[in-house]
Structure 1
């Protein structure tokens, strides 16, 4: 349904209303007597919205229909609930029948950044994330790169790639796995490999807000720029918080931390996403990274501010 259609919808319903003005109110309907049916033109508008598949249009038409014909609110609810159940069943069937190469969604981003801490400069940032959500299993692959080369020297070179499978064993609880690679020679390591398995829980699950936390043991292997290597067992924990401030504005906060016998590291990122058009958004993010040991610098804390354009596919 077009935006123009949504604008004239209330007027259309009001135009239909006089023909049904004689319909009794809910209080005047005798006990045991069925309420009047939803007017045919209104039902057709609701069915047209459902045929479009646009949930926003469906919600708008249903809301106006309930306001114009309160005595038919139960019928409107029955129609929309049946539609939602049918769509859910169709989606489950589609997921079951899909191959491992189908049902993937992703987003790519590109932009610039300014940094303080071990370096103070401006550079280029890029990222890619793809995800597949099944009935129980979900798979997420992410990659990011922050790079700058000035006057023949590389002053920032941070790369990250990770794979995280998740098994949802009930509506709130899940088991996660993590395999991750990092490279950041500016603060002292050529490579850092991380693996972790643990358990998590969704503390908040609403249309506008979600919050999940997880915890588990970790194993990290580091190759330092001075040719030394180290493998350590520790603990890992993370959180993921999202808040839909408006249809076009979303706030997300992610954080993770590692604790080992003599090492501590943590990262936190706050992102504000503004939707520009259907598939294009703009991200403003602020990242904080803490390393208790940085062989090549005295700085323990790095910050990274980024502005990127994001394309969903």
Structure 2
């Protein structure tokens, strides 16, 4: 009896030690670690989520290690990106797209044109620059000219990943719609309403000034401007975009462009777009609605 008591007393410290020692985490196999690291290096949230979910499902007990791998790589990538942006000069980090093709307009004119386009964007640590321009030009044998220019420069200050302030300057010329020239200056706040996987959607609103020289009169006005900028990546090679701008004063002006862009090879691709321009109060004798369909080759740089 005494011996059994002594044996029991010897086992107590061992039992206490086992109870106080947590279960060892499962060791993450090297091939799985390599796969998680490769996914994290892409920065693609959708791809990371899929790989992480599969790795956790097949490696029970290594969940914390998997999360740490992703967190460490994400933090290192963010720090490296911020460092590069902070050191970049004004002429660094510009990306863009040029386009050349043909367009067909209906409304105040039914005519085919040559189209030129340019889009540039520069992302800084706190500032973002956008420059966009599209020009349609026709000069046929009957002397029926069409010249349409719509260009804008926008400067954003990013308060966070989703909230920013913006200032924008625009110039427009549309002879067939009776607009000899139009300037617009606007500013306000912007919000990235959706930033998830392949979908991004920005919304903007603020006050604006407009100076318009029509064919027969001049109009200066204070207006409100709202804008929507949506981009949806349908696949690695195809993207759908829809950009809308609305000016509202005594009358409204709406400009909307929906486009489908597809890569062919390298930096070269194709773009099909449909533009709708609506003037609530056009000059006498002119229609409110103009539409333009464009088919262009695009080059990303």
Shared fold per TM-score greater than 0.5 = yes
Q: Which residue of 1 aligns with 2:106?
A: 116
Q: Which residue of 1 aligns with 2:293?
A: 305
RMSD of equivalent CA atoms: 2.7
Q: Which residue of 2 aligns with 1:138?
A: 128
TM-score (norm 2): 0.82
Counterpart-to-counterpart distance in 1, 2:34 and 2:198: 30
Q: 1:260 to 1:211 in 2, by over 3 A?
A: same
Task: Write the deviation string for residues 133-181 of structure 1: whole angstroms up to 9, x where unpaired.
Answer: 1222111111110111111524321012211011122343221111111
Q: Which residue of 2 aligns with 1:288?
A: 276
Matched, 1:208 2:202: no
**Equivalent pair of 2:275/2:293 in contact (CA under 8 Å):** yes
Q: 1:149 to 1:70 in 2, by over 3 A?
A: farther
Counterpart-to-counterpart distance in 2, 1:310 and 1:114: 18
Of residues 81, 85, 94, the one that matches 1:104 is: 94
Counterpart-to-counterpart distance in 2, 1:68 and 1:190: 66
Question: How many residue pairs were aligned?
Answer: 280
Deviation at 1:246, TM superposition (A): 2.8
Q: Which residue of 1 aligns with 2:252?
A: 264
Of residues 208, 213, 234, the one that matches 1:218 is: 208
**Equivalent pair of 2:98/2:300 in contact (CA under 8 Å):** yes
Most deviating of 88-97 and 189-198: 189-198
Q: Which residue of 2 aligns with 1:4?
A: none
CA radius of gyration, larger in: 2
Of residues 234, 240, 254, the one that matches 1:245 is: 234
Task: Write the deviation string for residues 247-299 of structure 1: whole angstroms up to 9, x where unpaired.
Answer: 333222111111222x3211111112223334233222111101123337431
Structure 2: 5+ residue runs without aligned partners?
1-19
**Equivalent pair of 1:188/1:296 in contact (CA under 8 Å):** no
Partner secondary structure for residue 91 of structure 1: helix
Partner secondary structure for residue 282 of structure 1: strand
1:79-94 to 2 correspondence within 5 Å?
A: 79-94=69-84
TM-score (norm 1): 0.80
Of residues 145, 162, 165, the one that matches 1:172 is: 162
Counterpart-to-counterpart distance in 1, 2:297 and 2:56: 40
Deviation at 1:86, TM superposition (A): 0.3
Deviation at 1:116, TM superposition (A): 1.3
Counterpart-to-counterpart distance in 1, 2:271 and 2:244: 17
